[in-house]
Amino acid sequence: MAIQSDKNAYWSANKRIIGISLVIWFLCSFGFGILLRPALSGIIVGGTDLGFWFAQQGSILVFLILIFAYAFRMNKLDREYGVDE
Amino acid sequence: MDQFTLNIIVVGATFALYIGIAIWARAGSTSEFYAAGRGVHPVVNGMATGADWMSAASFISMAGIIAFGGYNTSAYLMGWTGGYVLLAMLLAPYLRKFGKFTVPEFVGDRFYSQTARTVAVICLVVASLTYVIGQMTGVGVAFSRFLEVDNLTGLLIGAAIVFFYAVIGGMKGITYTQVAQYVVLIIAYTIPAIFIALQLTGTPIPAIGLFSDTTTQIAGVPAGQPMLATLEQLVTDLGFGSYLAQTDTTLNLFLFTMTLMIGTAGLPHVIVRFFTVPTVKDARFSAGWALVFIALLYLTAPAVGAMARLNVIDTFWPNGLNAEAVSVEEIETSDELAWVRNWEKTGLLTFEDANGNGTIEYRSGEGNELDVNRDIMVLANPEIANLPGWVIALVAAGGLAAALSTAAGLLMAIASAVSHDLIKSQINPNISEKNELLAARISMGVAIVVATILGANPPGFAAQTVALAFGLAAASIFPALMMGIFSKRINNKGAVAGMIAGLLVTLVYIFLHKGWFFIQGTNSFTDADPLLFSIKSTSFGAVGALVNFAVAYVVSNATDEPPVEIQELVENIRIPSGAGAAVDH
């Protein structure tokens, strides 16, 4: 693991996973919950629209999944590159 | 047994528990004092982070704010949870790998500059101290309501308890006390919510109940309709603003949510929690567990808010909005309405039969005869739903646990910044470990005294100071940490210029709207008609963060690259292996 190209590849892979995660993070909070809410207003959930559900409940559930998915994915990446502890 | 005795027993028992834990977990070394010896399991650490994070604002105020603000207050829910995603991916693992004790220490080492470290200490102390004042005020209020002592006595009891377990136990004592406090506060929050969700929707899970159909008639609206549709119909018929529609501007809502998210990830008392776990892997999972424990409350809060609002409307319009409202005679005599009389005594709920027709009518604008302070919603909830006395006592203990745990975490962050980043690193580098511990304990004592004095005489801007704390953390600390990890090119000059620019621009924007140093009447703008577009002063932290990033980038590129050993340091913190070895400072 002392090889520089390996370190760079590990860091690039990490940044790619973070990038994908943050796109989902943004989409499910700022996107569906705020900016895209008018576009989703036709979808009814429990007496209100999908955007309201994302703003008050859905986004939090997605955040939870994202953090654990990231932790598991990174543990796998650590092992692949031999940088785990 | 009367309610007062019950309150004393339940609150007293929880306090005895916290003190017992402090004695069991007292810190002997600086490593134990600052970072709990780095031996905290990620689940335990997640629970402690939850208690640390959820303050009196989350426990007491948030559901009430949602109850009266509806959709527009979703920023609190998304902002105060979404920040953990940023923490887990952008900060926590690398700061743990770095392996030091405090946030300013990272800033000082990464930007090879004592100036940067001192600027970070200033940002940290200002943000934490403003935040802790609000907590101490909350402790005073909760005590005076439930233990029937005056505000100052309540505050002093609370300060003494915090002093005892934080000073003796350090981070180790605080961590294990916070675990106990988390258990107390989450039980206290969810039990009343479960009872009320069962009453209104027949489901024991409040978060599901929020989007379910009602199983009982509420204020004349028949059962079998979605609960939120029922609420929307009632509030609009009474002339209040819509519960479901967006009334704030999209720009302000967006920036406010972003400010709360970045502020969450930049608050030092939360970040240091990730220094206490054994490995980088544990730091990643710890952020996830923290959010699990926080989400238990944050998924319940919007349900509590909506159901509390429904219950208040139902109380005053038991037979529907077109029938007669509740009579004054009933309020004064009925057992079911005892909560109205109890809270009237505090002055936080007032009613007056203005038109003299013998009933109290609750509506928006003209003809309204009831005024309810939104902060009483969570505390009054168990009484409104006629739950047993022990539940009411438990809610009191829960509110105190929320305020005390956050206060302790903030005081710890302040004390370690002063003793470790100022005294040890700049004033007396040769200080012995024993004397550094003593200095940390003394600075914590001083911080508690200052917070108590300011908490006893709140300058009358609790809400503004909390906004200031978030704005400051968002605009100064978060960008510096993130750039320090993700860029090798940002140098000492860029980081210092960025932090100062972000801090100043945010402070000035807040002062322009709230008055210079919060002195009333010195403001040039108001949040109703702000300087830039529709950006309120509470939402400006995200803009300040952007300024910080931009200034740091431009200044760094115009000046020299960081030295080779700093670039190696950055490469090193990006790789998890070898974290255990890097504990020495």
Instruction: Give the tens place of pLDDT for each residue, A36-74.
Output: 998 888 888 888 899 999 999 999 999 999 999 999 999
**Could you say which DSSP state residue B529 is in?**
B
At B101, give phi and psi (nearest 5°).
-100, -30
Is B289 inside any structural domain?
Answer: yes
**Could you say which DSSP state residue B327 is in?**
B
Interface test with B, best of A44, A63, A81 (most B CBs within 10 A): A63
Which residues have a Cβ under 8 Å from the Cβ of B182 and sit 6 or more positions away? B47, B48, B50, B51, B293, B401, B405
CA distance A29 to chain B (A): 7
What per-residue confidence (pLDDT) applies to B39?
A: 74
Is B48 inside any structural domain?
Answer: yes
How do residues B168-224 score in pLDDT, each as one tens digit?
A: 777 777 888 888 889 988 998 999 999 999 999 999 999 999 999 988 888 888 888
Q: Choose among A1, A14, A67: nearest Cβ to B85.
A: A67
Is B373 inside any structural domain?
Answer: no
Is B292 inside any structural domain?
Answer: yes
How do residues B407-466 score in pLDDT, each as one tens digit?
A: 888 888 888 888 888 888 778 788 888 888 888 888 888 888 888 887 776 654 455 567
Is B491 inside any structural domain?
Answer: no
Put simply, the answer to whether B211 touches A74 (Cβ < 8 Å) is no
Is B348 inside any structural domain?
Answer: no
Going along chain A, which residue ranges are E strands? 44-45, 48-49
Is B171 inside any structural domain?
Answer: yes
Cβ contacts of B257 on chain A, cutoff 8 Å: 29-30, 34
B343 versus A34: the higher-pLDDT residue is A34
Is the CB of residue A24 less than 8 Å away from at least one CB of chain B?
A: no
The CATH code of the domain that includes B286 is 1.20.1730.10
Does residue B142 carry a pLDDT above 80?
no
Q: In terms of residue numbers, what domain contains B107?
A: 3-310+388-466
Q: Choose among B71, B280, B575: nearest Cβ to A55.
A: B71
Q: How far apart are CA B462 and CA B122, in angstroms?
A: 20
Q: Choose among B226, B227, B291: nearest Cβ to A63.
A: B291
Q: Could you tell me which chain A residue has the CA closest to the CA of B75?
A: A55
Report yes or no: B505 and B131 within 8 Å, Cβ to Cβ.
Answer: no
Please report which confidence band the pLDDT of residue B302 belongs to, taking 50, 70 and 90 as the band edges.
very high
What per-residue confidence (pLDDT) applies to B257?
A: 94
Is B358 inside any structural domain?
Answer: no
CA B467 → CA B17, B259, B470, B481, B537, distances in Å?
Answer: 33, 9, 5, 21, 8
Is the CB of residue A12 less than 8 Å away from at least one CB of chain B?
A: no
Is the CB of residue A45 less than 8 Å away from at least one CB of chain B?
A: yes
CB atoms within 10 A of CB B258: 25
CB atoms within 10 A of CB B281: 20
* Counted domains in chain B: 1
